[in-house]
Chain A
Amino acid sequence: MTASGRAGRATAAGLAQSRHAATPLLFLLPSIVLLSAINAYPLLAGLALSFQKGSLIRLGGWVGLDEYARLANFAPFWSAVAFTLEFTVASVVGSYLLGLGLALLLYRIRALHGFLRAGLMISWIVPSVVAAISFKWAVTDERGLVNGALGLVGLGPVFFLSTPALATVSVIVLKIWRTFPFLMVTLLAARGLVPDDLYEAAYLDGANAWAAFRHVTMPLMARISIIGSLMVTIWSFNDFETIWLLTRGGPSDATQNLMTESYSLTFVLNDVGLGAALAVVSLALQMILAWVLLRTLKRYE
């Protein structure tokens, strides 16, 4: 074979290889274009708005980082950051513990398994508006379901949405009630994947139930636990409807999170630059949170 023949064959092979490599990209192209249109455009537009002043109706000029500087001196922003973190941590921990507990319980219960699982998932299945309004009716005043029950045992009435502390607890309870079924179902599936002979081996080695849970169940469910918690973290951090429908950020702005604050700044106060800057900062905070959780996940892989 001549040198030119070998070169020609190599070129043809190279072309075929690069064509082969490009094929997946071509298949991905429609999705990339679509996702860019759906995600990248609003993201970039929001970023651009955060460098401008003005209102929704009449945008002002470019002001560089001025809106971020304003945000740093805007007291409601810092209270919204604090509440968002409090709400997120409490919701994730509460949902996870409740979901895990019920998943392990459901795994052991054989009777009425399907009925119980379906019943426990109702709060996740019903639309947010229905869940929030039902919850509000139950707790909002002295004639509500909860105060009615408290009244039967001579307690109350307790105005659950009337003080900052009780309103904070109420929105967290509602969020946990709405979210735990997701973790319960996920963890129940994960528990089903743990081989029973590992437990038999652990018990043969003298492990008790707690030790088996700690050294067998948790390590083998860790990956699913982290993925599930990551999703609940993002949902809680981003939550708008739970708070808006239950308290609208009140009383006295005590339950204002970053999402409701950003909405209020943009659409109520008509301060687009500040609202957009807050939304960008929220996104950055979420990306940091997601990065931390994904790093943790890598440790288990």
Chain B
Amino acid sequence: MEDIQGTGEAITDLLNGRLSRRQFVGRATALGLSGAAIGAILAACASSSTSSAPAVASASTGAASASAAASTASPAAAAVDITFWDMPWGNDSYNTEAMALVDQFNHANQGISVKYQSIGWDQQFEAFSTAIGAGQAPDVSTGPSYQGPQFAKLGAIAPLDTLIATLSQNGKADDFFAGSLEGYKYKDHYISLPWSMDIRVLWYRSDLLAAAKIQPPTTWDELRAAAKQLSGRGKYAMAFAGDPFGWQILLALMINNGGGLFSADGKVAIVTDRNREAAKFVQDMVRDGSISPGAVTMTSDDMFKAIGQGAAFGWDSAALNNNYTPEINQALLPLSMLKGPHGDQGTLHWLVPIMVYSQSKHQAEAATFVAYWLDQMPAILAPKLGTGLLPIQKSVAADPDFQGATLQTVFSNWLPNAKYTSALDPTMFPELGAVEGANVLTTFIQDLISLKDLESTLQKAQDGLSQVVAIAQSQ
């Protein structure tokens, strides 16, 4: 906060001529402003001594409203191009809406031109890492949850401290759910801004359960019994996948049983009693005929399709895949969070980040865009765009779109017990990016569905994940 005030005073002194440009650079550097931000301020101040003050404030804080920046954009900043790489978070309409929002920003901010580019999930890490390696990183991007910490460790991420400070100053930081902003604090710097959350929730077909006179299960035993009863004659009641979505389900079950991939001090800990029980639970459901042996090579899309075709249970995010018929959509409800065999509860969730890259020559402008993007959450998270993501701001969660009984079950019942991929370690350490990207966990779930020996499967996953973490730590 003091930094912000100090910056403001320095800019005022610069505008009033009480500070030379050289003196300003010295003071701004001491206050922790990036070179790009200082350059933007000097360029803006040079163009006008009367109308540029708000624009300078915008550049220096990197977070003033888009319209303020637009109304004061200086000719010197007219050529600023910002590249924004976004992931395909929702259905086909998402891209259209995201591009329209970018156009809206460009229209309102004549000094900044944001170019939108959608990056497919399949080549996500490859695209980002090769771009950064080649010195061609985007200015700003969204990405998977641990991309910020992973790239920050390699020096590729520009801290958003100034933006977060501004959000604290204007009260917007208080609008975030408790602890979420702090989730992206790495070595005392905010390396990403969370804009939503993803979560794994177990859904059920209420129509199929009602027809079979089965009550929605509340424990693992009840789930197993219900799934077994609803399976047979070529039907598998539990939709499952052998791709990364599959290990996410397994990890959700591990967390639900008080386990996880890591110990509380961040060491790989897959071979534990709680994880063994979760892994055995999956194998038991395969043996029961409740999970198809063909799930080994099924993708999440195949899994969603199976739910539409008659599987009674399936995991998804907070909102369902929108490809179901209206009848099925209405019949699909989130279960109350299951209790594990020892009475534990929990599931897997992620923060979804937006970040600015250290290679960006226009970090202040990129931060301005980040602030704008955050303000667009009601539109971006609208159910019609099919992101399945949960809002992270209380004001957005209060929107009627998120007040339905279904999402309220997720908010009240699932979210409070949700943990990051690092569970049981509460921190988001940089190696989690490599953990999620590596093939080890996918192989883990494939081995389990293939009914390979449980002990050797757990040990293989433990050894493989330890190797992945060691490689990531050495980089």
Where the two chains meet, the residues of A that have a C-beta atom closer than 8 Å to any C-beta of B are: 53-60, 140-143, 157, 159, 161-163, 167, 247, 249-253, 264, 267-271
Which residue from A56, A159, A247 sits with its C-beta under 8 Å from B294?
A159
Q: A57-B133, A167-B297 are in contact. Are A250 and B242 (CB under 8 A)?
A: yes
CA distance A196 to B126 in the complex (A): 57
- CB neighbours of A271 from chain B (8 A): 471, 475
A-B contact pairs, 27 of them (CB 8 A): A55-B133, A55-B475, A56-B130, A56-B133, A57-B129, A57-B154, A57-B156, A140-B297, A143-B309, A159-B296, A159-B297, A162-B295, A162-B297, A162-B449, A162-B450, A250-B297, A251-B242, A251-B297, A252-B446, A252-B447, A253-B439, A267-B126, A267-B129, A268-B439, A269-B434, A269-B468, A270-B125
Assess the A268–B437 pair: CB atoms within 8 A: yes
Assess the A55–B296 pair: CB atoms within 8 A: no
- CB neighbours of A159 from chain B (8 A): 292-294, 296-297
CA distance A275 to B437 in the complex (A): 16
Which residue from A54, A56, A161 sits with its C-beta under 8 Å from B296?
A161
Decide if B132 is an interface residue (CB 8 Å cutoff): yes
Decide if B120 is an interface residue (CB 8 Å cutoff): no
6 closest A-B pairs by beta carbon, nearest first, are A159-B294, A161-B297, A162-B296, A56-B129, A267-B126, A251-B446
Decide if B151 is an interface residue (CB 8 Å cutoff): yes
Assess the A142–B151 pair: CB atoms within 8 A: no
- Please name the residue on chain B nearest to A272 by beta carbon: B133
- Please name the residue on chain A nearest to B474 by beta carbon: A53
Map CB proximity to A onto B371-411 as digits: 1 under 8 Å, 0 otherwise: 00000000000000000000000000000000000000000
CA distance A1 to B188 in the complex (A): 94
Assess the B129–A58 pair: CB atoms within 8 A: no
Assess the B434–A270 pair: CB atoms within 8 A: yes
Q: A162-B293, A162-B296, A162-B297 are in contact. Are A54 and B475 (CB under 8 A)?
A: yes
Assess the B242–A141 pair: CB atoms within 8 A: no
- CB neighbours of B471 from chain A (8 A): 269-271
- Please name the residue on chain B nearest to A266 by beta carbon: B126
Assess the B296–A251 pair: CB atoms within 8 A: yes
CA distance A85 to B242 in the complex (A): 26
Additional A-B contact list (14), CB under 8 Å, known A247-B297, A269-B471, A270-B472: A54-B475, A56-B132, A57-B154, A159-B292, A161-B294, A162-B450, A249-B439, A250-B242, A251-B443, A252-B447, A267-B125, A267-B130, A268-B438, A268-B439
Assess the A141–B446 pair: CB atoms within 8 A: no
CB distance from A205 to the nearest CB of B (A): 56
Q: A250-B443, A269-B438 are in contact. Are A141 and B292 (CB under 8 A)?
A: yes
- CB neighbours of A268 from chain B (8 A): 125, 437-439
- Please name the residue on chain B nearest to A267 by beta carbon: B126
Assess the B296–A57 pair: CB atoms within 8 A: no
Assess the A252–B472 pair: CB atoms within 8 A: no
Assess the A57–B151 pair: CB atoms within 8 A: yes
Decide if B462 is an interface residue (CB 8 Å cutoff): no
Which residue from A53, A60, A141 sits with its C-beta under 8 Å from B302?
A141
- Please name the residue on chain B nearest to A268 by beta carbon: B437
CB distance from A30 to the nearest CB of B (A): 27
- CB neighbours of B475 from chain A (8 A): 54-55, 58, 60, 270-271
Assess the A57–B298 pair: CB atoms within 8 A: no
- Please name the residue on chain B nearest to A58 by beta carbon: B154
- CB neighbours of B156 from chain A (8 A): 57
- Please name the residue on chain B nearest to A70 by beta carbon: B471
Which residue from B154, B234, B302, B452 sits with its C-beta under 8 Å from A55?
B154
Assess the B129–A55 pair: CB atoms within 8 A: yes
Decide if B232 is an interface residue (CB 8 Å cutoff): no
Interface residues of B in 151-165 (CB under 8 A from A): 151, 154-156
Decide if B442 is an interface residue (CB 8 Å cutoff): yes
CB distance from B252 to the nearest CB of A (A): 21
- CB neighbours of A157 from chain B (8 A): 234, 294
- Please name the residue on chain B nearest to A244 by beta carbon: B122
Interface residues of B in 430-475 (CB under 8 A from A): 434, 437-439, 442-443, 446-447, 449-450, 452, 468, 471-472, 474-475
Assess the B294–A142 pair: CB atoms within 8 A: yes
- CB neighbours of A267 from chain B (8 A): 125-126, 129-130
- CB neighbours of B449 from chain A (8 A): 162
CB distance from B314 to the nearest CB of A (A): 15
